[in-house]
Amino acid sequence: MFASSTTLMYRKPSFADTTDTTTITANLNDIDWNNTPKSLGLNTERMCDGINDSIRESSWLVTGLGSPSYFSDGFLYQSDDEDEANVRIRGYEAYCRWINNTRYTGSSTTKPQCDLICCSVTAKSTITALWRLGYDEKRSKVYLSTFITSNDQGGLVISQNDKVLIAKNAPSGAELRAKCNWYSCMPESLL
């Protein structure tokens, strides 16, 4: 469901429970990284729908079980997270494998949760997602991910930049949703 402002579109997420990543079997070898057909020609709003839906289905921001159909072959990932050594990775498969090895860690009872708060088109060719990575009440972070699409690449995502907004003891998903500006995906008055 979309509502529009003058030039930007946003999607207000459903408030159903998010994916429980403890039930996901993270087998990256089951993904056909090189032969998955690309979702070419989608406008930014439709690409935002695809990104939103794929995050909710597989929690790939935490599990690494990505959707290569939305990402260009030259995809570049960057993060300012000090715990992740300010990483820079070229290639979507390499990024997903790194995510699986870095974020999807712990015992089967403490696998992290990916709680997508907001996923919106925030500028031309820009999709922004606000999400919470949580292991438990005390170990949690809030990220703002920015996805850049390119018409030269058929509308596919060419880059993703993760910025840590809250480094530890993040508010709950419900609190973030209550304070979220749906046009910018920024949690008002929490930063």
Element (H, E) at 158: strand 156-166
Q: What percent of the chain has pLDDT over 90?
A: 57
Give bridge partners of residue 131 from the DSSP assignment.
116, 143
Q: What would the pLDDT profile of 96-121 be if each residue is shown by its tens digit?
A: 999 988 887 755 566 788 999 999 99
Model pTM score: 0.83
Range scoring the smallest mean pLDDT among 14-18, 85-89, 152-156: 14-18
Handedness of CA 126, 82, 191, 137 (dihedral sign): positive
40 torsion bin: left (phi>0), alpha (psi -120 to 50), beta (else): beta
The mean per-residue pLDDT over the stretch 138-167 comes to 92
Q: Which helix (H) or strand (E) holds 142?
A: strand 140-150
Q: What's the confidence (pLDDT) of residue 103?
A: 83
The DSSP 8-state label assigned to residue 126 in this structure reads E
Task: Report the distance separating Cα 177 and Cα 186, nearest Å.
Answer: 10
CA distances (Å), 141 to each of 13, 26, 71, 137, in order? 20, 21, 25, 10
How much of the chain exceeds pLDDT 70, in percent?
Answer: 80
Q: What is the pLDDT of residues 51-62, one digit of tens each?
A: 999 999 989 999
pLDDT at 14 over 90: no
The H or E element that residue 95 is part of is helix 92-102
Residues in the chain: 191
